[in-house]
Structure 1
């Protein structure tokens, strides 16, 4: 009964969180370019800067979380702080034009400190509350419902923005307020989770206090996941800023078209999410990750083949089929590759490395854009993504298979 209630509360909080964040986050690049006049470099920093702040937050965050008497309370406080800072962006347009874009960057970077703590504590908490045998079904359902909610809110906000001039700050300010109200609902449902009394693991706490520890790299499944996961995220995040720049500057997409891109992407995620969960149970999480990552590799090169907005809508439908797979399977793989005893430490170290990638990759993407142009840059990124897909295939064929064989050999 407690498990079912926790899953239900997690679904409700996830849907409220999706509304809170999606109401504006999909349009932050348009807000930055259209309202604040941000440059290409500043658009790239919108993606990259939060990673540095997140990297700074991870190590003390892991220590605080291990010392905390309640992961739930830690998650609640950090989530509320992150959402409050996000709402403060509504005041940025009142600043002088020369400072507004930089103030946006500062707030986005700053809110990522509690945002990182929120993600870390939620991942650790939900890993404790949902047993491994239920994760595939639970996360598939939760992600599918979140995708439906994201689809609806994205279309609604995109339609709402079309009633106003693209340079007007007022509609964005309304959305920031709405987003914060739903953040309060998200926090309410987080508080409704029931967690077991915490038993202090002295060894785990000491491991976390050492910060970034090389000891975790002795566990082969975790090392394999780290290599593949970081390579995939590097390729994925190189293109994030470039997609926004291409859609807004070269394809001249309005808020309504951007919402259609997102809606079709999310629709594809809803359709395909259950299939990915079933495929992972049948063929193995890592093998199916190869398929999802290989599909993601096609996104950059297909995007730049045309600036036709109907074509780009179709491409986003195609991309969404694989986004749902990577979102679901990467997180499942992280939990699977992290030993239960020291899970917080393993997750924190992975997110620490991910933060480094998150800062470097978008900057490298913008550098490639400035050096070789949009088409060549996107082609290079597609190659990097495909290499990441191949790395998952190698793990599936060699490491995972080897680990599954060893117990049978010892028992014979």
Structure 2
């Protein structure tokens, strides 16, 4: 007789859904990431380019514009320092991402009501915008940590290229639509000699931001959160600062920091330059901003493939030398009549979008490549703090300089752009060559490609040399005779090892200049690695030679049977 407890147990087991394989969970999570990015880009499109016009419509001065440009990012980055601690307390990254995104969406409801209930209190608006940035910034390192665990290293450039293309399409559409909405309500203001209808347009934009971010939060709740153990002995922020010039990641952060300072000098005044100095309409302003989005979208695939093949350093170096041209082009635009300047600025922003796409994608890729899984949350937070300090410092520096620099061509803003271009170029020349790549790249040989992990001494991997000696075989039919795998010759092995050793010695010499560790000790480590590789290669060749007679006898027996 079957017991009642056994029947209940059998029914419970029947109701249980089968466990979903991990690779399917990862695939679905990456799809959810794209949906999340789709709706988040709508929120970004209707807000990021229009917060400054909103402040200008509320009659904000240059000091307040600098505060709107700098303080939200700075405060958001500071609170990223607590992201790692939050993961340790709550033991889940997915829940933190969901609740922060949900709260972030709710912030836009009081913001859309602001012009109608507290129009004169700009500091209150700044507080709300800062709070929204703090909640979003707190989530950033946790989100990057989850994506870093889900996306394979060799697919990161391709995935982010695909995701960013979709994001930029929606960003463009939402930005363009937002510009049309504001242009319509601005016409109502002009027709009736009023100055309040445009705030209804801003209210519509911020309501769309609330809806889109609200939907995105529920996609975050469906992510797969892989097993994760926060680092127990993570470096503090001050320890990171102390050792910045002693490792590759620190040099990278230093370069990006100074480059962002040089760029942020003009950040608070671009919208002011277009709307007040050039007297463009909201629709013209939207077309100029949309040009940068189009440039980003069109070039994202190119930059992603470049990063996957040649590493983040190549894309970073190229884009860093392109970006100083952008402010110089804006200076040239001041020489033209308004209509010609409008067309010229569209082309300039198209170029700027292409260059910034490469810079942002390569810095994002470098951050993933140069940090370990356990340290990624902390190191992402440290990076974002430095960038936010750079943006804030640059914005306030620009606000101080705007009142003292001489007027050049149209206004002092043009002078700031000239200074920004010179500083960007100077920082790039001084720092970019010191940054070394930290991921898989390809070392080219005539007629053949050898894939090898970058030969350098990094804080996480040490000195590594990995030789791949065979091609990947293509799938063949079951009854077809397998094609022999091509093997590299001894001469090619020697060439590769020689080139690898030359590259390694170059990195060791550079490491000597930035670390206190003696060069002799490093060279001894290199010698041990080389001896190990030679020994493994000799053993492998010996096994192949011993296996050849057996293969020949097997082929003869097959011939006799035929």
Which has the larger displacement, 229-238 or 255-264?
229-238
Give the length in aligned residue pairs.
406
Residue aligning to 1:407: 464
Change (3 A) 1:188 1:399: closer
Q: In 1, distance between residues paired with 2:217 and 2:243?
A: 32
Q: In 2, distance between residues paired with 1:20 and 1:399?
A: 33
Q: Give the superposition deviation at 1:176.
A: 1.0
Aligned pairs for 1:64-75 within 5 A: 64-75=86-97
Residue aligning to 1:18: 41
Q: In 1, distance between residues paired with 2:87 and 2:41?
A: 24
Equivalent pair of 2:155/2:308 in contact (CA under 8 Å): no
Q: In 2, distance between residues paired with 1:12 and 1:270?
A: 17
Q: Give the superposition deviation at 1:57.
A: 1.0
**When the two structures are superposed, what TM-score results if normalisation uses the length of structure 1?**
0.91
Q: Report which of the two has the higher share of helix.
A: 1
Q: Give the superposition deviation at 1:8.
A: 0.9
Q: In 2, distance between residues paired with 1:229 and 1:72?
A: 30
Q: In 2, distance between residues paired with 1:92 and 1:397?
A: 48
Q: In 1, distance between residues paired with 2:77 and 2:213?
A: 24
Residue of structure 2 aligned with 1:115, choices 128, 136, 146: 136
Report which of the two structures shows the higher radius of gyration computed on alpha carbons.
2
Structure 2: which 5+ residue stretches go unaligned? 1-23, 190-194, 335-340, 406-411, 440-453, 466-500, 502-525, 531-562
Q: In 1, distance between residues paired with 2:261 and 2:202?
A: 30
Change (3 A) 1:150 1:96: closer
Residue of structure 1 aligned with 2:354, choices 315, 318, 321: 321
Residue aligning to 1:274: 301
Residue aligning to 2:342: 309
SS in 2 for 1:339: coil
Which has the larger displacement, 277-286 or 241-250?
277-286
Q: Relative contact order (C-alpha < 8 Å, sep 6+): which is higher?
A: 1
Q: In 2, distance between residues paired with 1:396 and 1:347?
A: 18
Change (3 A) 1:143 1:398: closer
Tell whether 2:217 aligns with 1:187.
Answer: yes
SS in 1 for 2:323: helix
Equivalent pair of 2:101/2:214 in contact (CA under 8 Å): no
SS in 2 for 1:370: coil
Residue aligning to 1:343: 376
Equivalent pair of 1:66/1:205 in contact (CA under 8 Å): no
Residue of structure 2 aligned with 1:387, choices 426, 429, 448: 426
Residue aligning to 1:332: 365
Equivalent pair of 2:154/2:308 in contact (CA under 8 Å): no
Q: In 1, distance between residues paired with 2:263 and 2:89?
A: 34
Q: In 1, distance between residues paired with 2:34 and 2:259?
A: 27
Q: In 1, distance between residues paired with 2:106 and 2:429?
A: 41
Q: Give the superposition deviation at 1:351.
A: 1.7
Change (3 A) 1:337 1:5: same
CA deviations on 1:70-121 (whole Å, 9 max, x unpaired) are 111111111222222233211211245432x222212112222211112121
Aligned pairs for 1:206-285 within 5 A: 207=234, 210=236, 212-214=238-240, 217=244, 220-285=247-312
Residue of structure 2 aligned with 1:58, choices 74, 80, 95: 80
Q: Give the superposition deviation at 1:263.
A: 1.5
Tell whether 2:379 aligns with 1:357.
Answer: no
SS in 2 for 1:72: helix
Q: In 2, distance between residues paired with 1:398 and 1:20?
A: 34
Q: In 1, distance between residues paired with 2:323 and 2:426?
A: 11
Q: In 2, distance between residues paired with 1:117 and 1:96?
A: 28
Q: Give the superposition deviation at 1:59.
A: 2.0
Residue of structure 2 aligned with 1:196, choices 203, 226, 230: 226
Change (3 A) 1:399 1:175: closer
Which has the larger displacement, 402-411 or 79-88?
402-411
Q: Give the superposition deviation at 1:334.
A: 1.0
Equivalent pair of 1:59/1:212 in contact (CA under 8 Å): no
Residue aligning to 1:369: 402
Residue of structure 2 aligned with 1:169, choices 166, 188, 199: 199
Q: Give the superposition deviation at 1:382.
A: 0.9
Q: Give the superposition deviation at 1:190.
A: 1.0
SS in 1 for 2:279: coil
Equivalent pair of 2:43/2:209 in contact (CA under 8 Å): yes
Q: Give the superposition deviation at 1:392.
A: 5.4
RMSD of aligned C-alpha atoms?
Answer: 2.4
